[in-house]
A and B are shown apart, each in its own frame.
Chain A
């Protein structure tokens, strides 16, 4: 158990809908990262927040947005969902905002868009 929690574990929805994925980092970690992993693929970095502020952006679509709240939990919002958005979405956390920081991953949310 990494100490990072994600809800929900599974989500099934229809095209065009909007969903929100939630992540709580490990106690004491200030950074939260969001990743997308499609079937049998590597991880695609989406976005990072550090202590409430956006720190870095990866290949995040305009239909996707995220935020980190004062209690450091984070939410990833996915809207106008398409079939291709079906994937595992992981949240990770680390103490700092880069460098040698080890990232600890949550169990993931499996999103299925029908």
Chain B
């Protein structure tokens, strides 16, 4: 079956860099997505990786290694507004190509 693992909580300091890891298990992999969700808010799309390598969008980057079934989200120059939960989600044949979501990583940023 499909599964995703990501840390439940990560703490970092304002201005620093933080990496949130995600490992997955699925058949017929079809892409890894990252979403951000502030408390009480809706998930918003951050990035999508279908191929190996690094995708950069401003302060956020996402990396994928399909051979390792592993990806990460890198957040640079952390700001207090980046305090949120971050979800990785994967599409695979197991789920008929629907997004299966990790449990989320709560990012706590300290001044």
Given contacts A42-B104, A98-B91, contact A2 B98 (CB under 8 A): no
Q: 5 closest pairs, A vs B, by CB?
A: A105-B42, A42-B101, A42-B103, A43-B101, A98-B97
Indicate the member of B41, B44, B45, B99 with the most A CB atoms within 10 Å: B99
Number of interface residues of B (CB under 8 A): 23
Number of interface residues of A (CB under 8 A): 21
A48: chain B residues at CB < 8 Å are 98
A56 touches B98 (CB 8 A): yes
Given contacts A56-B96, A98-B97, contact A103 B45 (CB under 8 A): yes
Tell me which of A58, A105, A108 contacts B98 (CB under 8 A).
A58
CA distance A58 to B96 in the complex (A): 9
A64 at the interface (CB under 8 A from B): no
Main secondary structure of the interface of A (DSSP, over half): loop
Given contacts A98-B91, A102-B48, contact A90 B43 (CB under 8 A): yes
Q: Give A47's nearest chain B residue, CB to CB.
A: B98
A-B contact pairs, 18 of them (CB 8 A): A2-B42, A41-B104, A42-B87, A42-B101, A42-B104, A43-B43, A43-B89, A56-B97, A58-B98, A98-B98, A99-B30, A100-B48, A100-B50, A103-B45, A104-B45, A105-B42, A107-B41, A107-B42
A105: chain B residues at CB < 8 Å are 42-44
A106 at the interface (CB under 8 A from B): yes
